[in-house]
Chains A and B, each alone.
Chain A
């Protein structure tokens, strides 16, 4: 069964600290993995997208890694800011169709305290 599991479910950190969010998946055949940020009451916004051949990709203070062998990805946030408080969703796409079916994780709810 194709699944995407994220951990932790929620996380609280102090402003300025770093944190790492985890994503494990069983989706096969794998096409690409995306990380989205969803602010409360808003739609998700894409942070990064990685294919099988990419191990790491950065977007400002966000760095995503991908290990396609172990089917794991992480999202590292450096020097956190209050505006980083949001849900971070891992999404994996398969290669089963031209649409590329998407499998969503339940997200990690990050809260950054001042």
Chain B
């Protein structure tokens, strides 16, 4: 059972609203990530964090912002939502897999499905 939680699971809002997607993990992982996934498409990394007060943009340009004030919490915020932001947002955290270099095993949350009307 994954110990990473996302809320809300589903959200339908109007254009221009500010939204925050919450992500919390209880595993003490330093690394956390936000991915965006559209139906039938691959996951795209939009933000990641190596630890408290560390945030970086991912491969896919996103108008969202993130913060990492506490190890367990990595919220994602959209200041002004638009229909193009409609997607599934997946939060993940990772820990090194033994001695395998680069093999950070990701644990994903259940996702937040955002629909902007």
Contacts and interface: CB of A to CB of B under 8 A. Distances in A.
Contact of B104 (A94, A95, A100, A105): A100
Contacts, number: 68
B97 A49 contact: yes
| Interface residues on chain B, size class | 20 to 34
Nearest to A51: B100
A94 B102 contact: yes
A59 B18 CA distance: 43
B106 A46 contact: yes
Given A51-B103, A95-B102, A43 B41 contact: no
A100 B101 CA distance: 8
Interface of B: 2, 4, 31, 40-45, 48, 50, 90, 92, 97, 100-111, 113
21 contacts: A32-B100, A32-B103, A41-B110, A41-B111, A43-B110, A44-B43, A45-B2, A46-B106, A51-B100, A51-B103, A89-B43, A93-B103, A95-B102, A98-B102, A99-B31, A99-B50, A100-B104, A104-B42, A106-B40, A106-B42, A107-B40
